[in-house]
Chains A and B, each alone.
Chain A
Amino acid sequence: MIKAILIFNNHGKPRLSKFYEHYTEDTEQQIIRETFHLVSKRDENVCNFLEGGMLIGGSDYKLIYRHYATLYFVFCVDSSESELGILDLIQVFVETLDKCFENVCELDLIFHVDKVHNILAEMVMGGMVLETNMNEIITQVDAQNKMEKSEVTSVLA
């Protein structure tokens, strides 16, 4: 199970937070801060796994992250997930974002966090991996966007 998915930038500003278990807003912020603190002080060429922080999970949980340019993508998962598998999943996620936003950069995530959520919803549902094939994900996202567009135009017409 995936317990949380966090994206934040090099300064710890959250760009997306998805918790598959309920926490209060304060705890969520604390978790983001703590995770940032743990992840940011690591060198570039060290392993991408981190034993979980104090707030989230416990011994069964791991932080699996990747660092792309200005953004950290962090998945907090328990032992039922394959570590290397999740790393691949992060890669798929980022590539999908890249396709959907055409050369994704931090600004895309800042202004379109709702879209990022929608893409993520096609990959992970309730903490379980739903789809790992990028083309499938993009087809689904596109179809929904098309539908949204047709609704908007019908309102304006």
Chain B
Amino acid sequence: MALKIVKGSIDRMFDKNLQDLVRGIRNHKEDEAKYISTCIDEIKQELKQDNIAVKANAVCKLTYLQMLGYDVSWAAFNIVEVMSSSKFTYKRIGYLAASQCFHESTDVIMLTTNQIRKDLSSPNQYDTGVALTGLSCFVTPDLARDLANDIMTLVSHGDCVKRKRCSVLIMYKVFLKYPESLRPAFPRLKEKLEDPDPGVQSAAVNVICELARRNPKNYLSLAPLFFKLMTSSTNNWVLIKIIKLFGALTPLEPRLGKKLIEPLTNLIHSTSAMSLLYECVNTVIAGQYCSSVGSVVLCVQKLRILIEDSDQNLKYLGLLAMSKILKTHPKSVQSHKDLILQCLDDKDESIRLRALDLLYGMVSKKNLMEIVKKLMLHVDKAEGTTYRDELLTKIIDICSQSNYQYITNFEWSVSQPVTPHPPGISVSWWTIRVFAVAQMATLLDNAHLLTGSMQRNGICEVLYAAAWICGEFSEHLENPLQTLEAMLRPKVATLPGHIQAVYVQNAAKLFATVLKSQEGNTDSTTAQETSQLMIDRLPLFVQSANLEVQERASCILQLVKYIQKLQQKDVEVAEEVIALFAGELNPVAPKAQKKVPVPEGLDLDAWINEPPSESESEDEQPKAIFAKEEPKHSRPRHTEVDEKELARRREARKQEQANNPFYIKASPSSQKVYQDAPGVEHIPVVQIDLSVPLKVPGLPMSDQYVKLEEERRQKERAEKKKKEKKKRKEKRSGRGKKHDSGPESEEDITPAHMVDIVTEEMPENALPSDDDDKDPNDPHKALDIDLDKPLADSEKLPVRSHRAAEAPKSPAEDGDAESAATQEPKKKSGKEKREKKKDKDRDRKVSLKCSVSLQIQFSTSRIFNELSPSSFWVFNEKKSSKHKKKKQKKEKEEKEKKKKKKKHHHHHHHSDGGGEESVQNGTVEEEEPLPVSVYDIQGNLQDGSQVVVSVIFENKCDSFLKSMEFNVLDSLNSKLQRPEGSGPHDGLTVPFQLPPGVSNEARFVFTVQSIVMPQKLKGTLTFIVKDSSTHEKLDFKLHFTCTSYLITTPCYSDAFAKLLESGDLKGSSVRLEGVNMPFHHLLARICFHHHFSVVERIDSCASMYSRSIQGHHVCLLVKTSGQTVSIDAKCDEPTLLGNVLDEIKQTFSQC
């Protein structure tokens, strides 16, 4: 052995270690990839060796390669091997590798559960440390569920501070992956907020802040506790977290904001830490709805200091916070406009962007033009595309915010060449249509300026909009023929396809208008010339490579040809042609499509007809009509050619949708799009080449507009003053009071045009809301759990194998909420009785009361998630019990996801003959111990004859219990596994003592030979009550049912059919009468209590499957008609089948 180790380490000397690998890679700069691939081959060889040191070295190298971007998931199993090494050195390497490359879909991860559990409870704190660190990176829902309890043990009992700290932190990850654990674990987490160790405390604060950030309303009740922490803590890290948390809480609870103002202002004045100051300011801002103006002013002052600071970081943060104040107190920020405009000149892009954000909010009717003018100057100067992008989008956003409410002069707005949404504007404001149309026509006329050499740059996108406007509102055009001519110039063919398409379509609209205008004319030459023009020019577009253009052009060409024929016969066609494009367009809200309720029974994913068979052409693939979604590939067997074809079609469709001004895009950023501007996606911002003149001859310059606007305002002001003077005169003559017209206020500016804002169309019964912006996939949604509700008994962390349970055997069957409710008061009254009795006892100087509860619960291990656990309780038989009073509490808890059901069944025994007993026992009266233990039977899949029973002992009395011994009378079939050397009747010592009110769990292994029969095992629990040093004994029974040996196993219908066809199975059947429940409930119940899974269900008939731990197949065919349910079952073991069926029957007879 020693030789082997020595040999191993000698071998190792010849292996490359990490340093050699790095050196090698650096020496092979030219053929790095090749070198690494040889290294990977070496590593593969090393991993094949038995020596763990060699393996660890190899894994260490893999971790490095992973960082360089190589996929190392193929070595996942080896990583697990290294993780499970007993040496810390290797273990750490293994966990590091795992944390770098394991994730939820790594399948070997489920092999690690036991290893991690072992490491968590390792006496070596560093083993625990690496395990926790690793787990924090790759925790999966399964791991979280299985290990939650172990982590909680560390949190509450861990002796080492560091370990505690880690385990508190990791709880957050566990909650995320396994939300059910949040409620049972939360009280302990709360305790840790007041932990004496500041590190543990800060970890707890960290976790709660992280939780509360997502669902603040559930944590409001913690506010007083945090308030105390805030005023007492001196740790800036903790303070920052707490203050951030308050920032999230105050918007929900105005009173909190009031209470916080004082300590926060104190902190703001006193602290020297900028980070803390900044967070305080942030939180004051968050609560500013209720805070005084004074505090806001203080904040703005402090922020101004930050912004003026030479440290760029502080400047940035100051602007960031300022933008938050802006939302609620725009006035107090607007006075710092100078400072913010200054920041636009900063060399730092982050700061410029922040300043831009601020400007967006500061815009008012008064300063809009000025600000935009400044911004346009910056566009000229801006280098770097991202910033220019941002600038232009901001300009657009600024102009368009809140439905253009600040824009007083629409003529100005429309003339801005970058404004990408004139269609949006012109649809919304019919008043400016005439103007817009004129502008756009000029623009089209001069289109050659924009196209040609600047083909690449996006400015031509504006033509897209222009063409559409001219077509749609062609009745306002002065000279439609000229525009039509402009639109059909051959040069147009050089424009991008989607613009051409719009051109063609709108040419047709213009054509209709021209015809209309010529209608009354006796001389039909103009009309005929127009038709000829169309016929001449359109073929150019018919040849277009762009499908859309081609299609529209050829359609319209044919139409025009037909019209020409009619014209030659002197038929009046204009009316009919114009009817093609009749109808007013209303703007549609960006969210409208989403708001259309899906009609009941409509399932867009369902096939309308049977899916076409392979041979059919794939043209019959259903197309997504309403959404941009791609057709779901229900059949991945499509050939590659089909895929390509599909992709092409999709592309074409997308193109079409993008071009279609009436198509509402399912863009996720729809809230940013303030208007239904078609082509917003094509905002030309990216590519504007600024050497291009933005001015188009014939269009007034935007500067001119600013001037014009100024003049207009001055005029207005002058007029107003005149009026006021008049008034004043009148007044003076009246009362002689002074009336000064103050500085021009916001309201005084009248818009240049009175515009009707057309409300955007929304489907009926759709409420405007922002709810739909929430991401349904947010994992934090699951953590939106009420934490103040008292814990129900059923809510506890899964203890090791408590996952699945089995058919209820106790008389208390499937309870429902109602019965639970009725039982509740009874239980209370029972408690009261006991209280009274206690008093009586005290009078008699009774020194001891003892009650132990023992809950027993069966379950088989859950191997698959679908397993629905149920539990049932078997109760002790008390040898000396004289009178039993039973209380039952049933609780049904249905969780949507896991369908977890737990039934609780408490028996409370009362010794009514207390008096007599007290005589017998001298001064000691003993209340009957109430032994209830939860036990959980876990079948072992690897070893079909082993069953693990976990028992939870709960001490319900007031005394300390110790020296507990657990013993079961073995039967021929089932034996309790005892340590070597002990006799067949010796009991097993329970390895813990129980203080009053505490529960703990112990596990016992049984060997079961045959699982075909249910059986009961008798057992006793002996213990010593510490105060009185008396030995007590408690009898109980363990009930092993047959269904507890079944494990829910999914089965596919084809495998199921094969199984039935094989003929190895023997049949049996059972009829259930008077079952009064819906079929799916019935199925759920069988799945749930008896661990079956549904293979297939057709109407009132279903096939189900399950498997025993020893591999017996159990198949059921369940049919229902009326109240009769017939179950035909097949199994390779008839006795097992018979017993399972009996148990099923019993389940239903009790409901």
Contact, CB under 8 Å: B18 / A126: no
The contact of A114 among B96, B103, B104, B207, by CB within 8 Å, is B96
Q: CA of A18 to CA of B136 in the docked complex: distance in angstroms? A: 12
Chain B positions within 8 Å of A87 at CB level: 313
Chain A positions within 8 Å of B275 at CB level: 82-85, 88
Chain A positions within 8 Å of B100 at CB level: 18
The contact of A125 among B93, B96, B132, by CB within 8 Å, is B132
Contact, CB under 8 Å: B22 / A110: yes
Q: CA of A112 to CA of B278 in the docked complex: distance in angstroms? A: 37
Beta-carbon contacts under 8 Å, B1-40 to A: 5, 9, 18-19, 22-23, 26
Contact, CB under 8 Å: B348 / A113: no
Distance to closest chain A CB from B205 (angstroms): 11
Chain A positions within 8 Å of B873 at CB level: none
Stretch at the interface among A67-75, A96-104, A143-151: A143-151
Known: A46-B347, A83-B313, A114-B18. A156 touches B60 (CB 8 A): no
Distance to closest chain B CB from A97 (angstroms): 17
The contact of A80 among B169, B244, B311, by CB within 8 Å, is B244
Known: A82-B278, A130-B203. A111 touches B22 (CB 8 A): yes
The contact of A22 among B63, B104, B130, B278, by CB within 8 Å, is B104
Contact, CB under 8 Å: B313 / A130: no
Q: CA of A48 to CA of B206 in the docked complex: distance in angstroms? A: 24
Q: CA of A81 to CA of B64 in the docked complex: distance in angstroms? A: 29
Counting CB contacts under 8 A, is B360 at the interface? no
Distance to closest chain A CB from B237 (angstroms): 6
Counting CB contacts under 8 A, is B566 at the interface? no
Q: Is the interface of B mostly helix, strand, loop or mixed?
A: helix
**Cβ contacts B978-1022/A at 8 Å (1 or 0 each):** 000000000000000000000000000000000000000000000
Total B residues in contact with A, Cβ cutoff 8 Å: 67
Q: CA of A129 to CA of B168 in the docked complex: distance in angstroms? A: 12
Q: CA of A46 to CA of B346 in the docked complex: distance in angstroms? A: 9
Contact, CB under 8 Å: A82 / B93: no
Beta-carbon contacts under 8 Å, A49-93 to B: 49-51, 80, 82-85, 87-88
Contact, CB under 8 Å: A148 / B88: yes
Closest A residue by C-beta to B319: A47
Q: CA of A112 to CA of B67 in the docked complex: distance in angstroms? A: 13
Counting CB contacts under 8 A, is A10 at the interface? no
Known: A84-B275, A111-B22, A128-B172. A147 touches B88 (CB 8 A): yes
Beta-carbon contacts under 8 Å, B116-173 to A: 126, 129-130, 132-133, 136-137, 162, 165-166, 169-170, 172-173
Number of residue pairs A-B, CB distance < 8 angstroms: 145
Counting CB contacts under 8 A, is A34 at the interface? no
Q: CA of A24 to CA of B66 in the docked complex: distance in angstroms? A: 10
Beta-carbon contacts under 8 Å, A21-52 to B: 22, 24-26, 28-29, 42-43, 45-51
Contact, CB under 8 Å: B69 / A29: yes
Q: CA of A78 to CA of B88 in the docked complex: distance in angstroms? A: 34
The contact of B165 among A17, A25, A126, A130, by CB within 8 Å, is A130
Chain A positions within 8 Å of B924 at CB level: none
Counting CB contacts under 8 A, is B92 at the interface? yes
Contact, CB under 8 Å: B103 / A155: no
Contact, CB under 8 Å: B64 / A113: yes
Chain A positions within 8 Å of B67 at CB level: 14, 16-17, 113
Q: CA of A85 to CA of B185 in the docked complex: distance in angstroms? A: 29
Contact, CB under 8 Å: B312 / A131: no
Distance to closest chain B CB from A156 (angstroms): 7
Closest A residue by C-beta to B212: A80
Distance to closest chain A CB from B986 (angstroms): 39
Known: A46-B347, A47-B350, A83-B317. A25 touches B203 (CB 8 A): no
Distance to closest chain B CB from A123 (angstroms): 11
Contact, CB under 8 Å: A144 / B92: yes
Contact, CB under 8 Å: B60 / A25: no
Counting CB contacts under 8 A, is B1077 at the interface? no
Beta-carbon contacts under 8 Å, B215-259 to A: 236-237, 240, 244
Counting CB contacts under 8 A, is A135 at the interface? no
Chain A positions within 8 Å of B18 at CB level: 111, 113-114
Distance to closest chain A CB from B243 (angstroms): 9
Chain A positions within 8 Å of B519 at CB level: none
Counting CB contacts under 8 A, is A1 at the interface? yes
Chain A positions within 8 Å of B203 at CB level: 128, 130
Counting CB contacts under 8 A, is B71 at the interface? yes
The contact of A82 among B60, B244, B349, by CB within 8 Å, is B244
Counting CB contacts under 8 A, is A132 at the interface? yes
**Cβ contacts A106-142/B at 8 Å (1 or 0 each):** 0000111110011001000111111110000000100
Contact, CB under 8 Å: A46 / B5: no
Counting CB contacts under 8 A, is B209 at the interface? yes
Q: CA of A80 to CA of B279 in the docked complex: distance in angstroms? A: 11
Chain B positions within 8 Å of A110 at CB level: 22, 26
Chain B positions within 8 Å of A26 at CB level: 69
Known: A125-B133, A126-B173. A47 touches B89 (CB 8 A): no
Contact, CB under 8 Å: A47 / B240: no
Chain A positions within 8 Å of B902 at CB level: none
Interface centre among A126, A132, A156 (most CB of B within 10 A): A126
Chain B positions within 8 Å of A84 at CB level: 274-275, 278, 313, 317
The contact of B169 among A43, A47, A117, A128, by CB within 8 Å, is A128
Contact, CB under 8 Å: B88 / A130: no
Known: A26-B69, A82-B275, A132-B237. A155 touches B88 (CB 8 A): no
The contact of B70 among A25, A48, A111, by CB within 8 Å, is A25
Counting CB contacts under 8 A, is B322 at the interface? no
Q: CA of A88 to CA of B165 in the docked complex: distance in angstroms? A: 21
Distance to closest chain A CB from B505 (angstroms): 35
**Cβ contacts B197-211/A at 8 Å (1 or 0 each):** 001000100110110
Chain A positions within 8 Å of B316 at CB level: 47, 49
Q: CA of A87 to CA of B274 in the docked complex: distance in angstroms? A: 12
Closest B residue by C-beta to A23: B103
Q: CA of A110 to CA of B169 in the docked complex: distance in angstroms? A: 30
Closest A residue by C-beta to B86: A151
Contact, CB under 8 Å: A80 / B9: no
4 shortest A-B CB distances, which residue pairs?
A: A126-B136, A84-B275, A47-B312, A22-B103
User: 16 additional contacts, CB 8 Å, given A47-B313, A111-B23?
Assistant: A46-B312, A47-B316, A47-B351, A48-B313, A49-B313, A49-B316, A85-B240, A85-B275, A113-B67, A114-B18, A128-B203, A128-B210, A131-B165, A140-B162, A144-B126, A144-B129
21 sample A-B contacts, Cβ–Cβ < 8 Å, listed by A number: A46-B350, A47-B311, A47-B350, A48-B312, A49-B316, A51-B353, A80-B244, A82-B278, A83-B275, A85-B275, A111-B22, A112-B19, A113-B67, A114-B60, A126-B173, A128-B172, A129-B206, A144-B126, A147-B126, A151-B88, A155-B9
Footprint of B on A, CB under 8 Å? 1, 14, 16-18, 20, 22, 24-26, 28-29, 42-43, 45-51, 80, 82-85, 87-88, 110-114, 117-118, 121, 125-132, 140, 143-144, 147-148, 151-152, 155-156
